[in-house]
Amino acid sequence: MVVGLLVAFAFAVYLSYNGSASLVDDFAYQSVVVAAQRDEAILSSEKFDIGAPPEVLAPDLHLLRQDLAYIDSNAKDVAERAPALEPLNTRADFERLTEELLKRQAAGAGRFAATVHRNESTRDLSNAIFAFVAVLFAVIVGRLRRAVDEGRDMVERLQRAFISTRRSLPHVDIGSVLISATRGSNVGGDTYDAFTFDGRYGVFLVADVSGKGIDAAVDTALIKYTIRTLFSEDQDPARILTKFASIYAQTAENPETFVVLFLAVVDLDDGTLRYASAGHEPAWVVRGRTVEQLPVTGSIVGLARDETYVTNMIPLVPGDALVVSTDGLTESRDDRGNLLGAENVRAWLGDLSGSAQRMADSVVRRLRKRSSSITDDLAILVVKYEPISMRPAALPSNVQTALSGGETGARPQR
């Protein structure tokens, strides 16, 4: 930690001597934009999925207004100013706000990239900038820890900033659900991420951090940014997980904490899925009505210091879907106390169809119908492989038959 801070300090001095713009300001703008996206997602879920009354929605709406005000205070030009909040009554209104916030996120990314471009001349310098941002975040979280009694609301906003919302990736349809079981608190340990650096390889992450509150918030941010950093250097899921497990063992402040994690890398051009999982059982590949549960490839992060992981490979064809959830799904109980279990989820998935978001929403509807309440945090990520150039409607009938399962004997399992 000390070495990392010294490196960040040396790099900050380097930037100052070269007259560069402040990366801190650019990072602050990105953070408040993502915080607003998270608040909007929570408000939408509370309003339409849970059907919460106005008095329950009021605190989340207030937080969203605050985040939009912070966007304005950090904006450098008109294009970066916060979008109008009203009206916000229908799903279409929320979709409009989401689209506008994504534009601000893109503007912020461009602003950050421009600052980086002015200061970097080699790839090593780019990696140093990324490390500086990660260390900066760790320093911010450390300060929040010392001031928790005075600034718990700041910690909650920070947690929301590091839980991803859906974003478009080439050749895949993405659906997601994120539910906090603790009403009135947005600090939880379930998270997901979906991103691509080059447009060729998509990275999909679902993680469940032990504990709640501030510790879970810190670990959630550590997971997301560490995985992103490691992926910039290596595209193999097992090697990434192995390195992450080592980093986590050295940086986790509480030695009793652990992380259950699923990491997949999908070749967005040909559908090759490579994944590694750390004790993460609830993961499936859905091929029409056939559902394959993916085996675990390593132990939970935090239980063993020298754990290594294995990468499994599965080819996806158009229409196949990867479904990953945290244990808030399989370990949910009905009114009699019976667990749902992985096999029952497998049966549910075999009945689903439609878009990735429709599949995710259908799972939640069935869960709510089976259980009177959701007592654990829940994250669900659905990634449906749908390359435009390979849609069945554009292929000969014999090829469509093979892709729909008529020649399953020729398809390798992993």
Residue-by-residue DSSP string for 329-374: HHT-B-TT--B-HHHHHHHHHHT--S-HHHHHHHHHHHHHHH-SS-
Residue 315 has pLDDT above 50, yes or no: yes
Instruction: State pTM to two decimals.
Output: 0.56
Scanning 252-334, the segments in alpha helix (DSSP H) are 327-330
Least confident piece of the model among 201-215, 305-319, 393-407 = 393-407
Burial class of residue 113, CB neighbours in 10 A (0-12, 13-18, 19+): exposed
In this prediction, residue 171 has a pLDDT band, given cuts at 50, 70 and 90, of very high
Domain 166-410 top-level CATH class? alpha beta
pLDDT digits (tens, 9 = 90+) for 79-111: 889 888 888 888 888 889 889 888 888 887 887
Per-residue pLDDT, averaged over 390-398, amounts to 43
Residue 220 has pLDDT above 60, yes or no: yes
Query: What is the structure's pLDDT at 149?
Result: 47
Greater pLDDT, 408 or 362: 362
- Tokens, residue 307: 């754990």
pLDDT digits (tens, 9 = 90+) for 257-314: 889 999 999 999 999 999 999 988 779 999 999 999 999 999 999 887 778 899 999 9
Which residue from 351, 31, 363 is spatially nearest to 179, judged by alpha carbons? 363
pLDDT digits (tens, 9 = 90+) for 115-146: 766 655 544 555 565 466 566 656 655 665 66
Query: What is the structure's pLDDT at 223?
Result: 86
Q: Where in the chain is the domain with CATH 3.60.40.10?
A: 166-410
> In the block, which residue shows the tokens 């051009």?
269
